[in-house]
């Protein structure tokens, strides 16, 4: 990534990871790559806000050297321990061993347990300020957005918020600002990021946004640690986070199924027809061939979820089992669900999925629909009706 001046004496010095296709231990597919953003502030005290993933240390250092010699850095702000932002610290600290690192108590502990180094570390809390010269930085602890150590850094003189992972997107681009990129792509990746990483943390996110709004902090630029920077109407992403965190939904249904010999798939396709007849938006995914990260993005604003599986060994099939296990961790709220599936001699999948849906907090809107072996004409009419009824409930909420 080229070094870009985002404000007078403030530079984006991070790197683009064009080719990364999996993130967080293969829990997140990154088809558009990502960036690891770091920001260099030139003031009386030269300050770097966050670093980058370790394998890109040399590129970060080269970028900084285009502005100043790395050994001139006085302060490094560590907003987050996770290695995609702290991984270059060991290489950086070899070149500027005098630099003081600032972060939360949990960050201090986390960095120690990642790198086992005794760097000069100053613990900061919400409200603590750091004078750089003409500018100041203020720290806002943001625990569980999305790790216990997470922190936002705010520069009041520039109305610049650097919230690390929050408001980010896994999006590799040469452009640095959201208004320079196709908005469909930016919002697609922002939703995917929220849905797959932040969805379970809605309550914490709402409280933090409320806390910041109450303080009336002017915010002209939101510069996250992944993807593009929000400078044109930056609060639009904050408003979107509020909506997602409140689990606000649209009249839309997402159907996710796995079929052994095609019977459950036939049911699913007929259910789609029923939903369409009610004029409700619907998306259908065979989970065995779908990208789970994309499916979750589609579910983020959907009011209704339908899950289908053939019965195998008295339970559901294995790919959908893994998918539902992931959904259980995301804890979606305010969702209606129903379950369908085929069986041979002993049904089991539908009940098993219904139990998971209830345990996850979904409301079962209809009794489960089961078909023995292959659906006949009457069974398919039942599937169509099942779809219609489910759509009617979705519209009514």
84 carries an active-site annotation: yes
With a CB cutoff of 8 Å and minimum separation 6, the contacts of 170 are 23, 28, 30, 32, 33, 34, 189, 192, 193, 226, 227
Distance of alpha carbon 33 from the chain centroid? 14
Contact 309, 318 (CB under 8 A): no
Nearer to ligand FEO, 80 or 266 (CB): 80
By the rule CB under 6 A, 226 interacts with ligand FEO: yes
User: Least separation, in Å, of the C-beta of 178 and ligand FEO?
Assistant: 18
User: Least separation, in Å, of the C-beta of 165 and ligand FEO?
Assistant: 4
By the rule CB under 6 A, 17 interacts with ligand FEO: no
By the rule CB under 6 A, 225 interacts with ligand FEO: yes
26 carries an active-site annotation: no
Q: Which parts of 156-185 interact with ligand FEO (CB under 6 A)?
A: 165
75 carries an active-site annotation: no
For the record, the structure tokens of 20 come out as 């990364």
Residue 379 backbone phi and psi in degrees, to 5: -60, -40
Nearer to ligand FEO, 171 or 350 (CB): 171
Nearer to ligand FEO, 49 or 282 (CB): 49
By the rule CB under 6 A, 57 interacts with ligand FEO: no
226 carries an active-site annotation: yes
By the rule CB under 6 A, 265 interacts with ligand FEO: no
Nearer to ligand FEO, 14 or 308 (CB): 14
By the rule CB under 6 A, 84 interacts with ligand FEO: yes
Alpha carbon distance 284, 349 (integer Å): 19
With a CB cutoff of 8 Å and minimum separation 6, the contacts of 243 are none
With a CB cutoff of 8 Å and minimum separation 6, the contacts of 8 are none
DSSP 84-103: HHHTTHHHHHHH-TTPEEEE
276 carries an active-site annotation: no
User: Least separation, in Å, of the C-beta of 49 and ligand FEO?
Assistant: 14
Reported residue count of the chain is 397
Q: Mind telling me the catalytic residues?
A: 24, 80, 82, 84, 146, 165, 193, 226
Q: Which residues bind to ligand FEO, rule: CB under 6 A?
A: 80, 82, 84-85, 146-147, 165, 225-226
């Amino acid at each position: 990534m080229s070094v870009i001046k985002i404000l007078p004496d403030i530079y984006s010095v991070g790197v683009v990871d064009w080719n990364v296709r999996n993130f967080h231990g293969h829990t997140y597919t990154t088809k558009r790559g990502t960036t690891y953003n770091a920001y260099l502030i030139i003031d009386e005290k030269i300050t770097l806000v966050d670093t980058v993933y370790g394998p890109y240390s040399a590129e970060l250092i080269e970028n900084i050297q285009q502005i100043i010699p790395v050994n001139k850095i006085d302060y490094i702000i560590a907003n987050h321990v996770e290695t995609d932002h702290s991984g270059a610290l060991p290489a950086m600290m070899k070149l500027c061993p005098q630099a003081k690192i600032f972060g939360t108590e949990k960050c201090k502990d986390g960095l120690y347990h990642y790198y086992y180094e005794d760097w000069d570390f100053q613990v900061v809390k919400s409200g603590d300020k750091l004078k750089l010269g003409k500018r100041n930085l203020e720290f806002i602890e943001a625990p569980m957005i999305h790790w216990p150590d997470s922190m936002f850094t705010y520069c009041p003189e520039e109305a610049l918020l650097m919230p690390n992972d929050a408001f980010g997107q896994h999006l590799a681009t040469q452009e640095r600002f959201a208004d320079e990129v196709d908005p469909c792509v930016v919002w697609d990746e922002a939703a995917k990021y929220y849905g797959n990483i932040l969805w379970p943390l809605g309550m914490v996110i709402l409280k933090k946004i409320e806390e910041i709004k109450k303080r009336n902090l002017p915010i002209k630029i939101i510069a996250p640690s992944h993807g593009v920077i929000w400078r044109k109407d930056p609060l639009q992403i904050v408003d979107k986070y509020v909506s997602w965190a409140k689990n606000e939904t649209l009249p839309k249904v997402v159907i996710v199924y796995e079929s052994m010999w095609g019977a459950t798939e036939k049911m699913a396709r007929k259910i789609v027809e029923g939903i369409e007849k009610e004029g409700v938006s619907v998306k259908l995914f065979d989970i065995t061939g779908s990208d789970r990260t994309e499916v979750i993005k589609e579910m983020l604003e959907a009011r209704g979820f339908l899950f289908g599986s053939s019965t195998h060994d008295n339970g559901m099939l294995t790919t959908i089992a893994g998918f539902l296990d992931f959904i259980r961790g995301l804890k979606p709220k305010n969702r209606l669900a129903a379950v369908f599936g085929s069986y041979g001699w002993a049904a089991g999948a539908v009940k098993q999925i219904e139990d998971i849906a209830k345990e996850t907090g979904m409301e079962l809107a209809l009794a489960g629909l089961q078909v023995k072996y292959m659906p006949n004409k009457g069974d398919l009419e039942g599937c169509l009706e099942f779809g219609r009824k489910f759509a009617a409930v979705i519209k009514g909420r």
